[in-house]
Amino acid sequence: MATSCKKMEKIQGHPCFGGNHHKNGRMHLAVAPKCNIKCGYCTRKHDCANESRPGVTSRLLTPAEAIVKVREVMASPITGPMIKVVGIAGPGDPLFNNETFETFRMVGEEFPHLIKCLSTNGLLLPDKMPLLKEIGLHSLTVTLNSLDPKVGGKIYSHVFYEGKRYTGEEGAALLLMNQLEGIRQAAELGLTIKINTVLIPGVNDDQIPKISQKVKELGAFVMNIMPLIPNADFADIMPPTPDQIDSLRKANEKVIGQFAHCKQCRSDAIGLIGENLQLEPLPK
């Protein structure tokens, strides 16, 4: 009972898992540059200070630089009181970068009260589960866009796993297998799991209800249906309207809780959801 209450208290403190997003903030540390899959909607070639989307960061940090940044943010009277979560969400895949685990270890030693959160494509989830347990991860976000390898083959141009490059349906099938097994193991470990699904009109529309049902069965806590941000291979596709997204969320909330406040944050976001504060370093 005590463990359950403690977990719920942490969930309530996490703005991306249903907590108070008007009061509680998060800090993303951009320490993970490498990625092991190529999503058709992802591009990381440029950065604009006014652009908020996954994969964007003004500067990569080393783990040593990241812990200095955490100290600065937590010492600031502006952000210190609001920050409840330290997350790693890229700009590549965190599980494909050893810097992720090194950073979380340092954060845990110095700021044990902060919730540790990680966002991943899920390819390496089964392989890295022991490390996630070791670092004391609390919250996990997995981006799952299809349960059909034929559809996945249209979304992912390639998957790189154990030194080999897989393309098309073969790559999508491998990714899906590891995602589902990883979500199952994460739920068994007691992690709080959010599923991100990018709605790509004309590509994976029919997958949404199937995904919501499957991830609920596997133990996911909440689902986040996100609109496509036209980029790369899907630059010419018209994104879904807010009403379309809202309608999908309402239809699927009967199966699994829906998160409706996502702003598709940058990899270096700091502050409340929808805010990207850039603080000057503290004087030495």
Rg (the chain; Cα; Å): 18
Instruction: Please count the structural domains in the chain.
Output: 1
Q: In the structure encoding, which two tokens stand for residue 165, read together?
A: 């490059």
Residue 32 lies in a domain: yes
Residue 107 lies in a domain: yes
CATH number at residue 38: 3.20.20.70
Q: Residue 39 — very low, low, confident or very high, per pLDDT cuts 50/70/90?
A: very high
Helix axes 242-252, 208-218, angle to 10 degrees: 40
Residue 50 above 50 pLDDT? Answer: no
Give the span between the Cα atoms of 47 and 107, in whole angstroms. 26
Share of the chain above pLDDT 90, in %: 69
pLDDT at 68: 96
pLDDT at 45: 57
CB-CB contact of 19 with 223 (8 Å): no
Residue 280 lies in a domain: no
Give the span between the Cα atoms of 166 and 276, in whole angstroms. 36
pLDDT in tens, 171-220: 999 999 999 999 999 999 999 999 999 999 999 999 999 999 999 999 99
Residue 258 above 90 pLDDT? Answer: yes
Which comes out higher in pLDDT, residue 241 or 1? 241
Residue 282 above 50 pLDDT? Answer: no
Residue 106: domain span? 2-271
Q: Residue length, the chain?
A: 284
Which comes out higher in pLDDT, residue 18 or 241? 241
Residue 18 lies in a domain: yes
Give this prediction's pTM.
0.85
Flag the least confident range among 69-78, 143-152, 164-173: 69-78
DSSP at 233? G
Q: In the structure encoding, which two tokens stand for residue 276, read together?
A: 């990207």
pLDDT in tens, 98-136: 999 999 999 999 999 999 999 999 999 999 999 999 999
Q: What's the average model confidence in pLDDT over 80-86? A: 89
Residue 277 lies in a domain: no
Residue 284 lies in a domain: no
Q: What is the DSSP string of 63-109?
A: HHHHHHHHHHHHH-TTTTTTEEEEEE--BS-GGG-HHHHHHHHHHHH
CB-CB contact of 140 with 85 (8 Å): no
pLDDT at 271: 58
- Average pLDDT in the chain: 85
Give the span between the Cα atoms of 265 and 263, in whole angstroms. 5
pLDDT at 154: 97
Give the span between the Cα atoms of 31 and 87, in whole angstroms. 10
Residue 8 lies in a domain: yes
pLDDT at 59: 80
Residue 282 lies in a domain: no
